């Protein structure tokens, strides 16, 4: 069995800006050592010749056909707008004058 990696729990708790009791330090140190041990175990796996992938299954994008159509009339596009002026949506002012 591999040796568990050493974790400086005091430094980690300082960097995370958390205070830990002695019991928490012991528990978290053991848990983090186990996690780092799992990563060390993964480093031993031979992945030579295996291409990187973003998803474990073959995924194809389901895109619709790009079909040219007539654009909507401005009246239809603006039909749900609360206020309209000169074929534009009117919105409340959100930036103050400088």
**What is the full per-residue pLDDT of the chain (98 aa) written as tens digits?**
556 677 899 999 999 999 999 999 999 999 999 999 899 999 999 989 988 888 888 888 888 888 999 998 988 989 999 999 998 999 988 888 76
Other C-beta atoms closer than 10 Å to the C-beta of 72 total 10
Confirm if 89 and 81 have CB atoms less than 8 A apart: yes
Which among 36, 13, 35 is positioned nearest to 24, based on CA atoms?
A: 13
In this prediction the pTM is 0.46
Q: Quick one: which of 53, 10, 4, 55 has its CA closest to 31? A: 4
The number of residues making up the chain comes to: 98
φ, ψ of residue 82 to 5 degrees: the values are -65, -30
């Amino acid at each position: 069995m591999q040796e568990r990696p050493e974790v400086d729990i005091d430094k980690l708790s300082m960097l995370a800006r958390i205070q830990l009791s002695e019991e928490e330090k012991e528990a978290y140190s053991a848990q983090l050592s186990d996690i780092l041990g799992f990563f060390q175990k993964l480093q031993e796996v031979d992945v030579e010749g295996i291409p990187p992938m973003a998803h474990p299954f073959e995924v194809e994008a389901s895109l619709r056909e790009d079909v040219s159509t007539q654009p909507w009339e401005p009246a239809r596009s603006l039909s749900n707008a609360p206020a309209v002026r000169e074929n534009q949506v009117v919105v409340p002012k959100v930036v103050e004058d400088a």
